[in-house]
Amino acid sequence: MAEMYSTPHEILYYEADVTGKLSLPMIFNLVVLSSTKQSVDLGVGPKFTHENGVGWIILQEDMKINRRPVDGEQVILQTMAKEFNPFFAKRLYRILDQAGNVLVDVDAFYTMVDMEKRKVARIPQAMVDAYQADQVKRIPRLAEPTKFEEGMEADQVQEYAVRFSDIDSNQHVNNSKYPDWMQDVLGADFITSHEPTAVNIKYEQEVRLGEYVRSEVKIVGNTTLHQIWANGTLSAEAEITWTEL
């Protein structure tokens, strides 16, 4: 049974959005930060994966947001490797406040890829051992986000040129940029009058520098259904639940 890893973090002003709360895209960066730190501590961090020619790819994140912490707030980032099989891994993430309340809770589903061949690779046994994850035959998939089907008419659409700063050291668009494009297409009036309470996002295809993406959204009551397209290919889809402020 894996142990929970904890690391403290202070919300910095440039991690907050116009409301002074931790921005939605930055929540995605902060949760991954905890597993990166855990991996480095256990000797199976980026150096290890690079040397082994492999890399983690996030397939899906299912997130509940109880409260977004504010600029200057001290939080605790937690993570635990839950279940591994030879090709897939499930990880739990949490952001806690100083009183131990769960602010954000995430189930994440990963696969490992051969960085050169860009296809699924076997997870090195040394990693499974380091994380002390439960080794299972089959990992139950996460619930799918409600589909925004191709052909449904989008309520709002916006195109974005991928910027150099959108690319991370994996040479593709950082996964925090998808929620960035997904919230932006809703417009300032919607985002500043609604608080996100849940995000279920599936990453389908990586996006690279020099590409243009199209962010499409269908608004269904307090739920928004999202698709991100690049070069005619579906790159990500998501369902976001909101509370009106």
Interface residues with its own copies (CB under 8 A) are: 12-14, 16-20, 23, 25-26, 29, 32-33, 36, 40, 46, 71-72, 158-161, 163-165, 167-169, 171, 174, 176, 180-181, 183-184, 188, 191, 209-210
What's the min distance (Å) between Cβ of 141 and its own copies? 27
Q: 53 or 72, CB closer to its own copies?
A: 72
**Strands (DSSP E) found in the chain:** 5-10, 54-65, 74-84, 88-96, 102-114, 119-120, 134-135, 156-161, 194-203, 212-220, 223-230, 233-244
Minimum separation from the CB atom of position 192 to its own copies (A): 9
Which residue, 152 or 161, is less far from its own copies as judged by CB? Answer: 161
Q: At closest approach, how far in Å is the CB of 13 from its own copies? A: 6
Looking at beta carbons only, is 29 or 85 nearer to its own copies? 29
Q: Nearest Cα to 101, choosing from 71, 79, 68, 72?
A: 68
65 or 83, CB closer to its own copies? 65
Residue closer to its own copies, measured from CB, 22 or 83: 22
CB of 144 to its own copies, least distance (A): 26
Tell me the CA distances in angstroms from 2 to 43, 114, 128, 131, 141, one per residue in order.
Answer: 16, 25, 10, 6, 19
Q: How far is CA 67 from CA 49, 75, 101, 103, 134, in A?
A: 34, 12, 9, 5, 30
Residue nearer to its own copies on the CB measure, 181 or 242 = 181
* Residue 204 beta carbon to its own copies: minimum distance, rounded to whole angstroms: 22
In a 13 Å sphere around the CA of 135, the CA atoms on its Cβ side amount to 12
Whole-number minimum distance, CB 108 to its own copies, in Å?
16
Parallel/antiparallel/unpaired status of strands 102-114 and 212-220: unpaired
Terminal alpha carbon distance of the chain:
41
Distance CA 12, CA 209 (A): 27
